[in-house]
Amino acid sequence: MPSNLPDPVPPAARATPWAQLKYFTYHPSVYPRMLGAVSPDAKPGDLVGVYDKDNRPFGVGFYNPGARVPLRVLHHGPAAPDEALLETALDRACELRERLPELADRAATDAWRVVHSDGDALSGLVVDRYADVLCVEVHSLGAHRRLGRWLPRLHARLGTTRATVRVDPAIARMEGIVVSPDDADAPTTVKIREHGVRYEVDFAAGHKTGFFCDQRENRRRFGEWVRRLGPGTRVADLCCYTGGFALAARITGGAEDITGVDLDEAAVAQARRNANLNQARVNWVHADAFSWARQMLQNGEKWDALVLDPPKLVFTRDDVSDGRQKYQDLNGLAMQLARPGALFVTCSCSGLVSEEEFEQLVIRAAHRHGRRLQFLDRTGAGPDHPVLSNCLESRYLKVFWARVW
């Protein structure tokens, strides 16, 4: 328990609305079993004062009684529930991106994460910047209700002019978010640049916010590795989505024999458009990565550099076991396609699989097939995806760099 705590405040003396915790926790997500009394005037989407179990002022958060997470604590400390706290958090998020060395060269990239939900103490809000467009992904009613004030503030700070807002239908039902009809003026696509590579982001067909900014620094690094391996390097990008790693290998790395594989037909079509945008030749394959890898094994094919970046394979604790097996099987197949000494980059974006657990899955996959891994590095999302110490689940992306022997 922290020292120098404020004095207790009885319910009758509190400014309303307020909510009280049953248990002490600094985690931003307060689930129903952890939530105690709530003032009668607290309404869904309200900003409420938060008190600990001993009646001491504890913080400020979004309240939504019908949601899976009825209380999202946005600020810790004895402060009144003031909207200015949230505006300060928005400004702080923008200021961080302005100071990041990785984003210092604005001519190199115009795409990055502006707000990373709990990592920026704005639970339920994700904002990605793509050129002059802000793509907003909302997971909480409280955040959704404030977009009318927040978006103009972000536009003024960032110099952006357009926005598109996305709310998953399942989340909208759980949070009670009423999604307005599609705005005819909302952009459907936008072109961005990233370290010498051009991409088109499709907001209608793309996953999440349309593009994966979290892999930006890893894509650049992969391209640099391929360049050092030489122009004759044979590259395979498995689960390539819209072609990020494959195009980095071609544009930055100078490789000429590149294959990108993905099961999502729309993603492969976008990858082809991205290749055309860069006048780059890549062999795009619409196929299941498991089936494709097995066929390549039968054909005796081998590669000098492989990257494996599958979609999330573990969504809930109920499917952890099945997801682990999929990670192990897919990594085992990919490693069998590697020439001795090949560069192997493998990723997991499943937050329920820890870095240590993922490493053991990859190692078991290698040893099962008589291969050994020489680990070179561990990386993750770029620093525009910050992680707060009280919510380590935000560190979801795990990327291992190795050579296969």
What pLDDT sits at residue 242? 96
- C-alpha Rg value of the chain to the nearest Å: 23
Query: Which stretch of DSSP H or E encloses residue 115?
Result: strand 111-116
Coil, strand or helix: which one is 347?
strand
What pLDDT sits at residue 362? 97
What pLDDT sits at residue 393? 85
Rounded to an integer, what is the distance from CA 230 to the centroid of its chain?
A: 32
Selecting from 3.40.50.720, 3.20.20.140, 2.160.10.10, 3.40.50.150, what CATH number does the domain 193-404 have? 3.40.50.150
**In the numeric block, which tokens belong to residue 32?**
């129903």
What pLDDT sits at residue 82? 93
How would you write the pLDDT of the chain (405 residues) with one tens digit per residue? Answer: 555 778 899 999 999 999 999 999 999 999 999 999 999 999 999 999 999 999 999 999 999 999 999 999 999 998 889 999 999 999 999 999 999 999 999 999 999 999 999 999 999 999 999 999 999 999 999 999 999 999 999 999 999 999 999 999 999 999 999 987 655 568 999 999 999 999 999 998 888 888 999 999 999 999 999 999 988 999 999 999 999 999 999 999 999 999 999 999 999 999 999 999 999 999 999 999 999 999 999 999 999 999 999 998 887 777 778 888 999 999 999 999 999 999 999 999 988 889 999 999 999 999 999 999 999 999 999 999 999 999 998 899 999 999 999
Residue pair 282/258 in contact (Cβ under 8 Å)? The answer is yes
Torsion of CA 141, 147, 148, 152, to 10 degrees: 170
Among 265, 207, 218, smallest CA distance to 244 is for: 218
pLDDT tens string 260-285: 999 999 999 999 999 999 999 999 99
Query: Which stretch of DSSP H or E encloses residue 399?
Result: strand 398-404
Selecting from 1.10.760.10, 3.30.70.890, 3.40.630.30, 3.30.750.80, what CATH number does the domain 85-183 have? 3.30.750.80
| Rounded percentage of the chain residues whose pLDDT exceeds 90 | 87
What pLDDT sits at residue 246? 98
**In the numeric block, which tokens belong to residue 285?**
């394959």
Among 219, 276, 275, 271, smallest CA distance to 249 is for: 219
Coil, strand or helix: which one is 61?
strand
Please spell the DSSP secondary structure of 149-204, one letter per residue: HHHHHHHHHHT--EEEEE--HHHHHHHT--PPPPPTTS-SEEEEEETTEEEEEETT
Residue pair 167/196 in contact (Cβ under 8 Å)? The answer is no
In the chain, CATH 3.40.50.150 covers 193-404
In the chain, CATH 3.30.750.80 covers 85-183
What pLDDT sits at residue 254? 96
Kindly give, in sequence order, each residue whose CB lies less than 8 Å from that of residue 214, ignoring residues fewer than 6 positions away: 113, 349, 380, 381, 382, 385, 397
In the chain, CATH 2.30.130.10 covers 11-81
Residue pair 260/235 in contact (Cβ under 8 Å)? The answer is no
CATH 2.30.130.10 corresponds to the domain 11-81: yes
- Give the global pTM: 0.93
